[in-house]
Amino acid sequence: MGRIALFLAVLLVFSAVCFAEDAAAPAATAAKGLTVDEAGKIPVTGHTIAVDKNIRDWIGVAPEEENSAAVSNGEYIWKDASGDDTGNGKYTYPLDKALKKGGDLKEFRVTFDKENLYFLIKTDRPGDWWTGYKIIGIHKEGAVGGAQLLAQGDKDELNFDSGTFANLKLAPALACQYAVAISSTYKARLWDEKGKMIGRKEAQQDDTPGFKVDDFNWNAVEIAIPLKLIGGSPAGQTWKFIVATGQQDNDVARRVEVEQSQYHGGGGAENAENPSVYDLAGADKAAQEKELGSYDTNAQEGDPKGFATIEKSFLTVNFAK
Ligand SMILES: [Ca+2]
Ligand SMILES: [Ca+2]
Ligand SMILES: [Ca+2]
């Protein structure tokens, strides 16, 4: 009896300590995770960001739960799940050490001020600084038209100015007015809905003024897009963002092939219709795998009609007036 009583007493003290720690730690800091719909109704007030290889100016508090959103301290924040970088569910990374990871989206943030729209996009840390590739589609609610092909590009040119070549398209309701792609940690292009390049960042003299991209620690990239390039301020409007991550290959999206090899991941289709995308924002793993696997295995190679279609993997951001 004495021994049992002592055991119970120890257990009680132990659990009291545990509960006290549980209660004290995260509750004070972490925001409660919201669904995409819920977060899309809360106005984002915005603030200024410096694209300066330092991300301490992103002051919003991320939600605790994976695959949830928050609006905090003037920022929209999506926290993506870890380990859902599986494309259609079967994607593997290339075998080369530099390319073994880096496509797992971790976080995506949006804010703005009178001059710019700002993004922060975080992934797992790639095996080498040049390996990352990211695509962000911008859909303005209520806008007419828009591109359903996410900056696909001219096959004859196959270069970054021309497009992303990621084999991805959007449902009509998500058709984009603008698309941005980031290659490596500092290069970017901005296209309009006709696929015309309207912004270019190469860290060269002729970079588009104000279009800024730079990284912190390889895995977090800050982006500033001058509002005058994208039709003016989003204040008072609701925009949707399609966020896709993968790897780059000469500044276009690196293909995922049927078989894994040194420089290409495996799990793709025989007709090469599968998207060069490992992860998306806005939906859970099952929904995102279904969308990234929705390409037509009978389509003629490279025919955009057969590309995977994104319908549910998006984020809704309500910009304050
Ligand atoms: Ca900064
Ligand atoms: Ca992820
Ligand atoms: Ca995801």
pLDDT at 62: 97
Token pair 């495996």 is found at: 266
pLDDT at 29: 65
Give me the mean pLDDT over the 190-203 stretch: 97
What's the mean pLDDT when you consider all of the chain?
Answer: 92
In 228-295, where does DSSP find H-type helix? 285-292
Contact yes or no for 246/166 (Cβ under 8 A):
yes
- Give 120's strand partners: 109, 222
Distance 156 CA to ligand 3 centre (A): 32
Give me the mean pLDDT over the 21-29 stretch: 45
pLDDT digit string, tens, across residues 254-284: 999 999 999 999 999 999 999 999 999 999 9
pLDDT at 114: 98
Kindly list the protein residues that place their beta carbon closer than 5 angstroms to ligand 3, a single-atom ion. 80, 84, 279
pLDDT digit string, tens, across residues 225-240: 999 999 999 999 999 9
SS3 291: helix
Closest CA to 226 of 207, 239, 203, 245: 207
* DSSP-derived secondary structure for 77-127: EEEPPTT---TTTT----SSGGGSS---EEEEEEEE-SSEEEEEEEEPPPS
pLDDT at 19: 41
pLDDT confidence tier of residue 151, bands split at 50, 70 and 90: confident
Contact yes or no for 163/191 (Cβ under 8 A):
yes
Distance 310 CA to ligand 2 centre (A): 16
pLDDT at 165: 94
The model carries a pTM of: 0.90
Distance 278 CA to ligand 2 centre (A): 9
pLDDT at 139: 98
pLDDT at 11: 46
Domain ranges (residues) in the chain: 36-319
Q: What percent of the chain has pLDDT over 70?
A: 91
CATH architecture of 36-319: Sandwich (2.60)
* Whole-number Cα distances in Å, 319 to 54, 59, 74, 266: 24, 17, 10, 40
Closest CA to 119 of 278, 245, 193, 225: 225
